[in-house]
Structure 1
Amino acid sequence: MTVHPEPSPALPCAIAPFVPQTQGMCLLDRIVAVGDNDLSAEITPSTEDVFARDDGIPGWVALEWLAQAVAAWAGWHGAQRGEPPAPGFLIGTRRFTTTRDRFAFGETLRVTVSLEFRADNGLGHFHGELHGGDGIRLAHGSLTVFQPDSNDDALDDNR
């Protein structure tokens, strides 16, 4: 039996039901706000994270946090139509910058993504930012993503 996320749970809510990542690869903790064209999520890095090192989470992981926020945005809107989270692909990024080599354990960080455009063929472009608890921007970049149509055979294993 497949369990689909509630269409509109109260916020903040767990992010896991809205992303296709499972078994430790769901890196974000919760959705705190969502709109037609944007989403905000939070993460509090811990020593249990899959990318944890002795001295924190590497700075480049912020790019994956941004990408998973995009996946959560798509998953949230899919849930409104009764659909489970669908796989998508990070095609590329431009101007990704982070001000930190490492993110400390226990510091709550806010990830925000905003849709800039979405084409009918599943291609989309988002701007993403990561902020510390003090509101200072720690990372940002533009992400180009692709989510195949669920009726598309792009992910069919039987080809």
Structure 2
Amino acid sequence: MNVPAHMPDIRTLVPHSGQMVMLDRALSADTDMLCAEVRVHPGSVLADETGVGAWVGIEYMAQAIAAHAGWLALQRGGEVKVGFLLGSRKYEAKVSQFALGEVLHVHVHRVLQAENGLGAFECRIDIAGGMAAAATATVTVFQPANVNQFLKDGNVG
């Protein structure tokens, strides 16, 4: 993996703002992969007194995919654009929740990228210093060339 010397702030890579940015930082990236970090703490979105449900992992994966798209766009001198989570196959979690205090590493690897903006990623979440592959999924996403036109009339071109 080609690891950049310095990764940009995660907030510059995703088209989210405020508390909806659920990732803490991007650790590494290359043309097909990105690894992001999440620290589960009491102020985490969707956290209760013990942690966040493992089902939140799908959003961590989706945001890591968005960060990858944003990183690639910035590498080309472009802008970060909105994309859509279409679905996931076989989201499996070995834990029922990610506990307060845990540090998660969210790995996304692009396995398909079509010209029309459709993409598929193999994703996994490791608990740092703990369980590898605590959650896994194949996630399908779509990033239209013109999001406003797509939202207006469904035109993907």
Contact kept? 1:13, 1:32, Cα under 8 Å: no
Structure 2 length-normalised TM = 0.88
| Separation of aligned partners in 2, 1:12 and 1:105 | 25
Instruction: Tell me what 1:141 maps to.
Output: 137
Instruction: Tell me what 1:66 maps to.
Output: 61
Contact kept? 2:82, 2:147, Cα under 8 Å: no
Contact kept? 1:18, 1:84, Cα under 8 Å: no
Structure 1 length-normalised TM = 0.87
For structure 1, the 5+ residue unaligned runs are: 1-8
Matched AA of 1:150: N
Residue 126 of structure 2 corresponds to residue 131 of structure 1: yes
Q: 1:20 to 1:56 in 2, by over 3 A?
A: same
Pick the structure with more helix per residue.
2
Instruction: Tell me what 2:15 maps to.
Output: 20
| Separation of aligned partners in 2, 1:82 and 1:156 | 27
Contact kept? 1:34, 1:40, Cα under 8 Å: yes
| Separation of aligned partners in 2, 1:13 and 1:49 | 21
Runs of 4+ in structure 1 off by over 6 angstroms are none
For structure 2, the 5+ residue unaligned runs are: none
C-alpha deviations, 1:78-97, integer Å up to 9, x for none?
Answer: 11222232111110100110
How many residues align? The count is 150
Q: CA RMSD in A?
A: 2.0
Q: 1:151 to 1:74 in 2, by over 3 A?
A: same
Matched AA of 2:51: G
Matched AA of 2:77: G
C-alpha deviations, 1:40-67, integer Å up to 9, x for none?
Answer: 1111011111211122111100010011
